[in-house]
Structure 1
Amino acid sequence: MLRFVLSLMLLAVFALPAAYADDRIGFREITEPDESRPLHVALWYPTKDARPEISVAENPVFYGVSAVRDAKAADGSHPLVLLSHGFGGSFRNLSWLAAALAREGYVVAAVDHPGTTTFDRDPEKAARLWERPRDLSRVLDALLADHSLSIAATRIAAIGHSLGGWTVAELAGARFDAGLVTQDCETRFGAIACKLFAGLGIGRSAAATEKLGSDLRDARIGAVVTLDLGLARGFTPESLDDIHIPFLVIAAGVDIAKDEAAKAEVAATNQDSRYLAEYLPQSTTTTAEIADALHFSFLQICKPGAVDLIEENAPGEGIVCKDGGGRARADIHRDVAQRIITFLAKSLPPE
C-alpha cells in the first residue's frame, strides 16, 4: 500500500516553502542505539548558524524544507516536540510542521519506527505495536541527556499523524483493548482496516494482547496532539477519561473511507478522532475538524505533476496528493500549524 510514494521519500532535498522563511533551522540526524531496535531520529531546532542551508525531505513527488545541517542550536532553553509518523511513513512526513515549530523555538524530534516505516517494513517488528510509544520515550531519554540542545524538561509535547496519533495517545495514558478492535471487525471497521490490524499483530496472541494493553504512559509528556489518528476506537473509554494533560484532537473533515474516488487501501477514518473527543475530559481537550482536509493533507506538499507521476507507477495511489478541494495543502498546513502553535503556547508556558 502506497509503496511507490513512500519509497520516493528515501530521496532527500529541497528548499523551504516561503511561509516560514524568516528564521533559520538547524537539522541533524542521530541514531539511538539498541541491539534489537536501533532508532533513526531527525532533529530540527532553532539556530543562528549563518552557513549555507541544505535541502531536507524532498523527492520527485513532495517538497521539503531548508535547514543548516549539524548547526549549533540557538542559545537558551527549548521546549521539545516528539513527532510520530503513520504506518509506512517516515520522519519526513511532518517536516513542514517540524519547520514551523522550530521557527517558534522548539526542538523537534521525529523518529522512524522500526517495522512500520518507509525504511523498514518488517512484519515481525510491525506486530510489536507497543514498542512505538516506547520508541518516543527512549528518544526523550536521549535528548534530555544531550545538553547541546538545552531541552526544557517541563515543556515536552508529542504529536502524531494516523498510527502516530495512536502512538502519542498511548504516551498520554490511553490504554488499548484488542478485543474492541477484533470483535466483529469487518462489520465495524471494514476488510481493509481488519487486514491492517492483523498485520500489526492485534489479537494475534494472548501475550501480545497483554503487552498491547499495558500502561505505556510517559509522565514527562505535558501535551499531546493527534492528526487524523487511527485505531483510537480500541482505546478504553475509562483510560481516555483518565487523561488530564492538554490534548488537541485534529481530524480531517473529509472521511477518506467514504470518498468514492479513493482507490488506495487506506484504513483511516475521522470516526477515531470523534471517538477521542467523546471520551477525553472536556476540560483539558480541544477539538478541531479541518473541513477541507483529507487524511493525507497532513503529509508534505505535492509538486506539480506529482499525481501523474504516482499513477504511472502505482495506479490509485495518487490519493496522497488529494485534499478536500476547498484550499491548497499549503493553506491547510498554515491553518493546522497555527492551531498547534497556539495550543502548545497555552499548554506548555515558559517557566
Structure 2
Amino acid sequence: MLKTALSAWMLAGLSIVNAQAAENIGFREIDLAQSAENRALHVALWYPTASTEPVVSTGENQVFFGGPAILDAPIAGQAHPLVVLSHGYRGNWRNLSWLATELVRQGYVVAAPNHPGTTSFDTRPEEAARLWERPRDLSRVIDHLTQNPALAGPVQGDRIAAIGHSLGGWTVTALAGARYSAQRLREECQLHPSPRICGLAPELGIAPEQQSLLGQDLRDPRVKAFVSLDLGFARGFTAQSLASIEQPILVMGAGVDINGDLPFQMESAHLIAQLPQDLVSSEKIADASHFSFMQKCKPGAVALLEKEAPGDEIICQDGDGRSREAIHRQVADRVSTFLAKAIPPQ
C-alpha cells in the first residue's frame, strides 16, 4: 500500500515505441459514466487482436517500464475469458499492467479500473471511505464488457477471474464473498497491532455507521477464480465468511516486509488459514517485497523518486534475492497455471 501518491506527471501518458513484437495485444482506455447506482470509472483494457500496429508502451512513465501493445486495435472475433484487476491503495491501473499483457498472450481479455478515492490521481476521502464500492467497481466492469463485445471482444461469461494486489487483494476477496467486520479488526489489532493496517480504517474515513455497507455480501457469482497478491486488511474479514467462500482462490505473499506494514503472517497467511483448504492455493515468495508485484522500475527511478517524492522510492525496492523481472516470471507462471485449472479452456 503506497504511503504517498506519486506526482501525476510521473504517472500519465502512453509512449509511442519503435516497431516491435506486441504479440497481438490490443489496448484502449474507456470511461464508464456515473449513474444513480454507480460512480464514474476509468478503465484500461487489454485484449487479443490480429493487428500489428501502431505500437505503444502501456503503463510507462519516468519511473516504470511499460509493455508494448497496439493502441485501439480491432478486436479478435472469437470469445475469450475475462480477468479483472484491482490495484492497491493509492495505486492505479498501471500497477498490474505487466501481468495484463502476460495474460493476453495466453488468450485472456483483461480489464483494470481505477477505484475512485484510492488511486494515485484521486484521493477524495468521501470516496475512499466507500470501500464496499471497490468490489462493485469490478462487477460493473464485468457487466459492461459482457454487454458490449465491441470494446474488447466477446467474453466467455463462465470463465471470469479477478486478481488484486494489496488493497486490491482485499477487494477481490470481498468479491468472492468475504465480509468485513469493524469489531473483528479491532479485536485483531488489540492482539497484533500493526500501525499501518490498524490505522487504515480511520485514514480511509470509514465510520462505524458504515459497517452495514462494508459488511454486506459483495459476492459476484460470475467470477469463478480469485487471486490475491500480498493483500492488506485481511484481518477485518469474518472467519465465517472466509470459510464459506465457494470458488478457488490463489493467495501469494511477499516474504520481505521492507516497511513493516504488511507482515506475511499477519495478512496473507492469516487469509490462507481461514479459507476452505480444498479451495485455497498459496505461495510465499521469499525474496519479494510488497512492491515487487508492481511494474519494473527504470534505472534512475530511485534517485528520481527521492528527489520528487521522498519516501516513494520504496516502491522500487525488492528483497535481497532476484530481480523484479524474475519475480514477475514466477508470479505470472503460478497465476497462469492456477487460472488454467480454475477456469479451463472450453
Question: TM-score scaled to structure 2, two decimals?
Answer: 0.93
Give the one of 244, 247, 254 matched to 2:246.
Answer: 244
Shift of 1:6: 6.6
Aligned to 1:12: 14
Shift of 1:256: 3.0
Give the one of 141, 151, 154 matched to 1:150.
Answer: 154
8 A contact 2:57–2:66 mirrored in 1 = yes
Write the distance in 1 (CA, Å) between the matches of 2:188 and 2:341: 41
Aligned residues: percent identity? 52
Structural RMSD (CA): 1.8
Give the one of 211, 214, 229 matched to 1:212.
Answer: 214
Q: Aligned with 1:4: secondary structure?
A: coil
1:162-311 mapped onto 2 (5 Å cutoff): 162-183=166-187, 185=189, 188-202=192-206, 204-206=207-209, 208-258=210-260, 267-270=261-264, 271-311=266-306
- What amino acid is the match of 2:176? A
Aligned to 1:264: none
Shift of 1:187: 6.0
1:336-351 mapped onto 2 (5 Å cutoff): 336-351=331-346
Aligned to 1:262: none
Shift of 1:283: 0.8
- What amino acid is the match of 2:155? I
Cα pair distance change 1:138/1:64, threshold 3 Å: same
Write the distance in 2 (CA, Å) between the matches of 1:121 and 1:25: 31
Cα pair distance change 1:225/1:5, threshold 3 Å: farther
Cα pair distance change 1:205/1:346, threshold 3 Å: same
Write the distance in 2 (CA, Å) between the matches of 1:66 and 1:315: 30
1:103-182 mapped onto 2 (5 Å cutoff): 103-148=105-150, 149-182=153-186
8 A contact 2:184–2:236 mirrored in 1 = yes
1:5-154 mapped onto 2 (5 Å cutoff): 8-13=10-15, 23-35=23-35, 37-148=39-150, 149-154=153-158
8 A contact 1:24–1:48 mirrored in 2 = yes
1:293-327 residue CA offsets vs partner (Å, 9 max, x unmatched): 00000110001111111111233321110001211
Write the distance in 2 (CA, Å) between the matches of 1:343 and 1:101: 12
Q: Aligned with 1:82: secondary structure?
A: strand
Q: Aligned with 2:221: secondary structure?
A: coil
Cα pair distance change 1:268/1:103, threshold 3 Å: same
8 A contact 2:80–2:156 mirrored in 1 = yes
Unaligned runs of 5+ in 1: 259-266
Write the distance in 1 (CA, Å) between the matches of 2:247 and 2:231: 18
Q: Aligned with 1:282: secondary structure?
A: coil
- What amino acid is the match of 2:27? F
Write the distance in 2 (CA, Å) between the matches of 1:74 and 1:184: 48
Number of paired residues? 338
1:209-242 residue CA offsets vs partner (Å, 9 max, x unmatched): 1100000000000000000001111111111111
- What amino acid is the match of 1:139? V
Q: Bigger shift: 123-132 or 141-150?
A: 141-150
8 A contact 1:46–1:105 mirrored in 2 = yes
Q: Aligned with 1:118: secondary structure?
A: coil
- What amino acid is the match of 1:209? Q
Shift of 1:37: 1.4
Aligned to 2:312: 317
Unaligned runs of 5+ in 2: none
Cα pair distance change 1:15/1:215, threshold 3 Å: farther
Write the distance in 2 (CA, Å) between the matches of 1:156 and 1:10: 29
Write the distance in 1 (CA, Å) between the matches of 2:11 and 2:212: 34
- What amino acid is the match of 2:200? L
1:330 equivalenced with 2:325 (yes/no): yes
Write the distance in 1 (CA, Å) between the matches of 2:9 and 2:268: 28
Q: Aligned with 1:26: secondary structure?
A: strand
Shift of 1:54: 1.4
8 A contact 1:13–1:65 mirrored in 2 = no
Write the distance in 2 (CA, Å) between the matches of 1:193 and 1:288: 22
Q: Which consecutive aligned stretches of 4+ in structure 1 deviate over 6 angstroms post-superposition?
A: none
8 A contact 1:180–1:233 mirrored in 2 = yes
